[in-house]
Amino acid sequence: MRHLRRIAIEEAFWLDSLSTQQLADGATASPYKAQYRSKWARRLVDFTEYRIPEMDAHGIDLQILSLATPGVQMQPDTDVAIDDARRANDALAAIVKEHTPRFAGLAALPLQSPEAAARELRRAVTELGLHGALVNDHTLGHYLDERRFDVVWAELQDLGVPLYLHPTNVLPAPWPLLDGRPELDGPTFTFTVATAGHALRLIYGGVFERFPDTTVILGHMGEFLPFWFARLDAAHQRLDPQEHLTKLPSQYFTDNFVITTSGVTSHAALQAAIQTVGIDNILFAVDYPFESTAEAVAFLDTAPLADADRKKIASRNAERLLRLTGFSA
């Protein structure tokens, strides 16, 4: 069978040289087994020993790299965050250049200073050749619907690049629901509901009224928001929103969001997502190194899809969204 070109769009890396590393070390307590934490730690900082061989073994042509959670979002020192984001983006651009055509990248943004984040976004795209940005949920408890971040949205719209809204492993405040139940923290529960809530803040905060040509990427089958459309729209019609909205929540979602398959290898979920958001708004992802590349590829290859639709999810939607040129092997 002719090779199916696969682009994986939510693939993490880390740099131990970042000043934020010390804070990240303190934020990684988790209920996961030591063998997995050790595996993830080795692979996050690697590009050639584990990563490319695994891509080759399973037919991943291109990984879109982004700084792993919590990124620079939890850094309380604005100057340090600005410096770390710049260093991370410079390093990412160098990695992409060294290993072209295997990697492309999304920039880290120091949102502690929205003006600096907007400048760094423009530099990352126009000078470094990155293809958008990834933000790990909130920044020190601040969310992207706040008007202070309009300068960043304006830059995203002007550059025509997407923002990937990714979960973080740092909650902005203690959540009593988790007391005595650490199993709920992370991809089991908190990642999804926190990130989905952030996405809904963007809608209800009027971000897409002010910046209608921006695009947000949500992983993990859209953090399951596509399966919530009926309830969201029904509730919305009884609301009196603080911001003037001209559409139903589901309409903003289908106009301004795309989703990825990262970490959700369910054909039933994929079929439902296609029905709600459309085949052109779904992109393949593995969520390396946290999820299995083999399982993600098998899921895509065996999905009950027409060949043309499989190609869209596998690579063509990503090529269009990220304007990927010059990345064919």
Cβ atoms of 88 and 18 within 8 Å: the answer is yes
Tell me the C-alpha distance between 195 and 275, whole Å.
22
DSSP 66: E
Tell me the C-alpha distance between 277 and 130, whole Å.
26
Q: Where are the alpha helices (DSSP H) in the chain?
A: 21-26, 34-44, 51-58, 78-98, 114-126, 150-159, 190-204, 207-210, 219-223, 229-236, 249-256, 267-277, 293-302, 307-311, 317-322
Cβ atoms of 319 and 41 within 8 Å: the answer is no
Tell me the C-alpha distance between 177 and 185, whole Å.
10
Catalytic site includes residue 287: yes
Please report, for the chain, how many H helices and E strands are present, in that order. 15, 8
One of 287, 301, 307, 309 is an active-site residue; which one?
A: 287
Strand bridging mode 133-136 / 163-166: parallel
Q: Copy the structure tokens of residue 155.
A: 């830059």
Q: What is the sign, positive or negative, of the torsion defined by CA atoms of 112, 114, 118, 119?
A: negative
Q: Copy the structure tokens of residue 67.
A: 């700084």
Neighbours of 272 (CB within 10 A): 15
Instruction: Kindly list the distances between the CA atom of residue 121 and the CA atoms of 77, 124, 252, 308, 313, in Å, as whole numbers in the listed order.
Output: 19, 5, 24, 33, 26
Active site (catalytic) residues: 287
